């Protein structure tokens, strides 16, 4: 969903409904009138069933509304049931092409974007998608009953105007190249969905979207089936040609990982992504693999690494000092964990923007220095030197013992001394912290860190809570330490304000779990979001990278630069290669097809 295809000169000449898409940096890959995306098979047969398994943290669902704060929706519902104004492509990082919108026009001053809706666009109930529905969706998503992440991302949207039945204009508070993509990517739903109800009371009402699938048979606690809409309005549109080929997508639910894995081996479903290094290395075996029915394959991608991390809640008094936080990180022996527990299967996360151009390296460039100098004395001095590197325990001069000695010195400087069998502050209070998780099995990966912290006199308790309580405590920031898998981005922007912004730190349900409240961070996030060119973006995000990582709000964990997938090669087919920026399940649901569509699932 990004920059315009018409030139600035054409834009200055006045409105011209000629732009079929928008690219953040004016570099759309596909020209007007393109037939289909390169990574799909336009001749793919349609029909058959795709059987998946839910990999969500919560095992089942209790609502059909994926936007409200409370409750758990079915896996993949939002992706399959709701169209947006623009559709992204899987072989570009920051582009969008007209889906519900047939044309997009960004004003020459970049203070507004106007979308003209396709006259053929229809909701599942047959009603036309109108500008009033787009406005209703926007107003609802920034309302009080929806995750505040939407409101934060849309903070620089001044308002939305219905120009006529099929034309809608978003007005911006300031020029922001990202916003046309942000608003273009919002899910659009009918204003008739839950009409007359407060949105948080729209729970089991069947969503009225315009996407390729509807909700079909449901067996609560067991599975949900999405049924392809035979009258899907966009089935022959170029952005959808060759996509959504299965008549049915059934998502099975297993509460236990072992049961899920055994069901895969027994042929209960057709595809599964793997996130456990142990399962992938040792347990993906059996007769169906030997026969070639099930295939185990890693698909390398170019997606951002993300920054999955131990999150340190600085609202807690023990974690307010960055020296304490740094000491906690020094007690983590990642090299031992990767060797002994992960089969050397995971590279370590190093910063916020791994595998993207935004990642900071070396010392700050002159452009970065310009952004950082006004905050000298208010950010860690290390920000002005080499980029943060996670501590290592292997290599010349590196060891866990040496790291623990450094940690002791940092803790002592922060007012913590070891006496009477524990690390204590001046008041004599011991340092006791709690790690919160919603999975009992999570203690396995935390235990080595817990043992190393004991050597420093720090007690780290493991608290396993059910998912509902976990989510509630997370939303209210009632935890000391937990793990969050933050997705990365090739083109970071306003969404960073929800993760690191001072305002978000005081907003329940926001993504600022660390409690970051820093004017320097706020200014750098604003510089990222307000970048007018990529040359402006890169120093801003790299400067932010330095400040966050040297402040030790996060203890980086691990990542994976491939999609590890097992699939049924007798039932499924796909076009190679995988588009580089795709998510595993989305790629399969969107572009794969059944080898024999008439074949019934076993």
Q: Which two tokens stand for residue 276?
A: 């456990």
CATH architecture type of domain 309-399+434-439+466-556 = Roll (3.10)
pLDDT given at position 17: 35
pLDDT given at position 140: 97
Distance CA 278, CA 541 (A): 35
- Taking alpha carbons only, the member of 86, 92, 143 closest to residue 115 is 86
Which residue is listed with tokens 């099995």?
441
Distance CA 476, CA 65 (A): 21
DSSP one-letter code for 201: G
Per residue in 81-136, pLDDT (tens digit) is 999 999 999 999 989 999 999 999 999 999 999 999 999 999 999 999 999 999 99
- pLDDT score of 14 more than 80: no
CATH architecture type of domain 8-201 = 3-Layer(aba) Sandwich (3.40)
Per residue in 446-457, pLDDT (tens digit) is 999 999 999 999
- pLDDT score of 11 more than 70: no
| 238 close to 87: Cβ distance less than 8 angstroms | no
Return residue ranges of the chain for CATH 3.40.190.10.
Answer: 8-201
Long-range contacts of 388-397 (CB under 8 A, 24+ apart): 388/350, 388/351, 388/546, 388/549, 388/550, 389/350, 390/329, 390/334, 390/348, 390/349, 390/350, 390/556, 391/329, 391/330, 391/332, 392/334, 392/335, 393/333, 393/334, 393/335, 393/336, 394/335
- pLDDT score of 351 more than 60: yes
Chain mean position to CA 334: 24
Mean local confidence (pLDDT), 269-273: 95
Which residue is listed with tokens 């995000």?
541
Mean local confidence (pLDDT), 338-342: 92
Return residue ranges of the chain for CATH 3.10.105.10.
Answer: 309-399+434-439+466-556
- pLDDT score of 1 more than 50: no
Distance CA 242, CA 574 (A): 11
Which residue is listed with tokens 């916003």?
179
Distance CA 113, CA 160 (A): 10
Q: How crowded is the C-beta side of 567, counted as CA atoms within 13 Å?
A: 22
Q: Which two tokens stand for residue 105?
A: 């026009």
Whole-prediction pTM: 0.83
Q: Which two tokens stand for residue 113?
A: 């974007």
CB within 8 Å of 115: residues ≥ 6 apart: 85, 100, 101, 103, 104, 134, 167, 168, 169, 170, 184
- pLDDT score of 80 more than 70: yes
Mean local confidence (pLDDT), 388-392: 96
- Taking alpha carbons only, the member of 53, 94, 92 closest to residue 177 is 94
Q: How crowded is the C-beta side of 600, counted as CA atoms within 13 Å?
A: 1
Distance CA 299, CA 575 (A): 13
CB within 8 Å of 272: residues ≥ 6 apart: 52, 53, 55, 260, 264, 565, 566, 567
């Amino acid at each position: 969903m990004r920059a315009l295809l018409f030139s600035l000169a054409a834009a200055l000449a006045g409105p011209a409904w000629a732009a079929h898409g928008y690219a953040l940096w004016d570099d759309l890959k596909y020209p007007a009138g393109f037939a289909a995306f390169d990574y799909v098979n336009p001749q793919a047969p349609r029909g058959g069933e795709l059987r998946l398994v839910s990999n969500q943290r919560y095992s089942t669902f209790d609502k059909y509304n994926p936007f409200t704060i409370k409750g758990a929706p079915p896996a993949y519902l939002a992706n399959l049931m709701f169209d947006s104004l623009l559709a992204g492509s899987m072989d570009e990082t920051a582009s969008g092409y007209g889906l519900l919108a047939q044309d997009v026009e960004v004003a020459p001053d970049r203070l507004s974007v106007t979308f003209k809706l396709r006259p053929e666009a229809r909701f599942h109930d047959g009603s036309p998608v109108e500008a009033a529905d787009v406005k209703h969706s926007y107003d609802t998503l920034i309302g009080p009953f929806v995750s505040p992440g939407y409101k934060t991302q849309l903070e620089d949207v001044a308002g939305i105007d219905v120009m006529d039945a099929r034309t809608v204009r978003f007005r911006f508070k300031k020029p922001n190249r990202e916003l046309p993509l942000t608003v273009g990517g919002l899910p659009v739903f009918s204003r008739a969905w839950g009409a007359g109800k407060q949105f948080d009371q729209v729970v089991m009402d069947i969503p009225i979207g315009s996407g390729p699938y509807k909700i079909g048979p449901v067996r609560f606690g067991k599975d949900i089936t999405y049924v392809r809409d035979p009258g899907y309005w966009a089935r022959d549109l170029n952005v959808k040609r060759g996509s959504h080929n299965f008549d049915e997508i059934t998502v099975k639910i297993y509460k236990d990982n072992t049961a899920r894995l055994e069901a895969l081996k027994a042929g209960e479903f057709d595809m599964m992504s793997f996130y456990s290094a142990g399962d992938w290395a040792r347990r993906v075996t059996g007769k169906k693999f030997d026969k070639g029915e099930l295939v185990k394959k890693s698909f390398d991608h170019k997606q951002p690494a993300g920054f999955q991390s131990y999150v340190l809640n600085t609202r807690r008094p023990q974690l307010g000092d960055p020296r304490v936080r740094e000491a906690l990180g020094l007690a983590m022996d990642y090299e031992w964990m990767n060797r002994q527990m992960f089969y050397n299967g995971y590279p370590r996360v190093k910063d916020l923007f791994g595998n993207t151009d935004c990642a900071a390296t070396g010392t700050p460039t002159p452009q970065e220095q310009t952004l950082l100098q006004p905050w000298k004395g208010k950010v860690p001095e290390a920000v002005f030197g080499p980029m943060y590197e996670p501590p290592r325990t292997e290599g010349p001069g590196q060891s866990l013992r040496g790291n623990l000695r450094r940690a002791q010195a940092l803790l002592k400087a922060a007012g913590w001394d070891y006496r009477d069998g524990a690390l204590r502050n001046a008041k004599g209070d011991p340092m006791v912290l709690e790690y919160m998780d919603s999975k009992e099995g999570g203690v396995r990966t935390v235990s080595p860190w817990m043992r190393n912290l004991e050597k420093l006199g720090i007690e780290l308790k493991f608290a396993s809570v059910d998912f509902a309580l976990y989510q509630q405590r997370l939303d209210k920031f009632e935890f000391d330490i937990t793990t969050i898998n933050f997705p990365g981005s090739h083109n970071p922007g306003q969404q960073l304000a929800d993760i690191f912004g001072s305002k978000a730190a005081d907003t329940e349900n926001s993504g600022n779990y660390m409690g970051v409240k820093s004017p320097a961070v706020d200014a750098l996030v604003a510089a990222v979001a307000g970048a007018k060119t990529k040359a402006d973006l890169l120093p801003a995000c790299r400067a932010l990278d330095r400040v966050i990582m040297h402040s030790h709000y996060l203890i980086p964990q691990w990542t994976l630069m491939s999609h590890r997938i097992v699939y049924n090669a007798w039932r499924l087919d796909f076009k190679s290669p995988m588009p580089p920026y795709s998510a595993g399940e989305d790629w399969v649901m969107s572009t794969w097809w059944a080898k024999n569509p008439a074949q019934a699932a076993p």
